[in-house]
Structure 1
């Protein structure tokens, strides 16, 4: 629980209280304006408390995420703690287990797919399409180049 009393979290707590109080105050101001005859203020009188609720929702979600991230019980394997017989069975794996430390998100590399160019439907070679494709391949081969640098 001490994680929520760091200087950064104290600023977040104070900001949440100030924002909620401000939103509720603005909502009350809109109620008084609506009572004075401004019909559009009824919508704003509903909108400001919704904003305050959103601030509370985001603050609560961040608190829960912070508490879960540092909770050692949440990083443990739930299968091994729930079923003692599960440790006797071999774990299914598609390959070597990734070496990821607790609390560090796994980084996945993008999959590169090589695609073969599609053949023209009618078999005819379009000169304009061929020129455009060569221009695109030149741009791909020269990532720092500008379109005006194209030699073709």
Structure 2
């Protein structure tokens, strides 16, 4: 329970109380406006308590999450960890395979496009001359 009394958690508790009281107060204000004849306020009279309920839900969920996460306390510090394979947690997750076309992009029997051949020659020259600028291309 000491984990719920840190400065960060005290701020969360205060924020929860302020928000719930504020939302319920706004809901009561809308009930009074609806009683005076403002029909639109009936919807808001329902909406504000729902917001207050949501704040309570999120606060409760965070409290439970914090109480479940217990820091590991070693039972005996003199016991060395067991030698064995690396833990499975270090293994990256399964990734989606990358689909790569294994066949040629154009049919092998087709005549070569002149513009494509010139562009490929230009790219080959740039790759062979890494310090060159594109304006230095002799072609």
Within a 5 Å distance, the mapping from 1:44-83 to structure 2 comes to 44-70=44-70
1:114 deviates by 3.5
Distance 1:69 1:60 in 2: 14
- Give ranges in structure 1 of 5+ residues lacking alignment: 73-95, 101-105, 131-152
CA distance in 2, matches of 1:109, 1:70: 25
Aligned-pair distance for 1:98? 2.1
Question: Residues of 1 paired with 2:47 and 2:102: CA distance?
Answer: 53
Greater relative CO, 1 or 2 (CA 8 Å, sep 6+): 2
- Aligned counterparts of 2:91 and 2:35: Cα–Cα separation in 1: 56
Structure 2 residues without counterparts, runs of 5 or longer: 73-84, 117-139
CA apart distance, 1:70: 1.3
Question: Which 4+ residue blocks in structure 1 deviate beyond 4 angstroms?
Answer: none
Q: CA RMSD in A?
A: 3.5
CA radius of gyration, larger in: 2
TM-score (normalised: structure 1):
0.54
